[in-house]
Amino acid sequence: MTLKSFASKHKKEASDMLLEGAPAKAVAAKFGVHVSTIYELRKDMGHGHTKADRASHVVTLRLSDDEFRALNAFVADAGLPSRTAALRSLIRAATGFLELRREEYLDLSEARTELKAQGRNLNQIAFALNKAALKGEARLTEQDKGFLADVKRSYAALDARLSAAFREVRQKGRAALHAGDRP
């Protein structure tokens, strides 16, 4: 349906569709308006972002020259990608939400990279053993198979825990901040 004007009744219907989880592009297509019109409607209706963990509010502030230099120094010292990331980090820290220092985050990333490398090594070992067993060049005892199964279970459990910790670090503070709840 293409509309000559996006009337209040259409806005209400479009708003309801957004609240039900319809993508902005689909809503725009249904009413024959540009997707930016739907994003503006979502903003005007106070719906925020469709994904709960996404930033949806713009904050504008003015800083003195000294404050601006201090913010830039903080960005550089913390190794953050932008002033926006620095301000988010400061807000989370000031309001008690989970936030790791850059070094801790990098340590977690390094541990995950190492774990993935170990997983590749385990896969190569298993591939070589299976290939040798198929050719009749090697025999795996039940004890060997049990050991490999234990290693696989341990690896999977460690990977799951590390992945969960990684997700928590990236999401918990942001989700709590967006929900407006303090721990």
34-83 pLDDT, tens digit per residue, is 888 888 888 777 666 555 556 666 778 899 999 999 988 888 887 778 88
Global pTM reads 0.38
What string of H, E and C letters represents the secondary structure of 143-157? HHHHHHHHHHHHHHH
DSSP line for 87-145:
HHHHHHHHHT-----HHHHHHHHHHHHHHHHHHHHHHHHHHHHHHHHHTTS----HHHH
159-181 pLDDT, tens digit per residue, is 888 777 767 766 655 555 455 44
pLDDT at 32: 87
92-110 pLDDT, tens digit per residue, is 767 656 566 667 777 877 8
Contact 155, 118 (CB under 8 A): yes
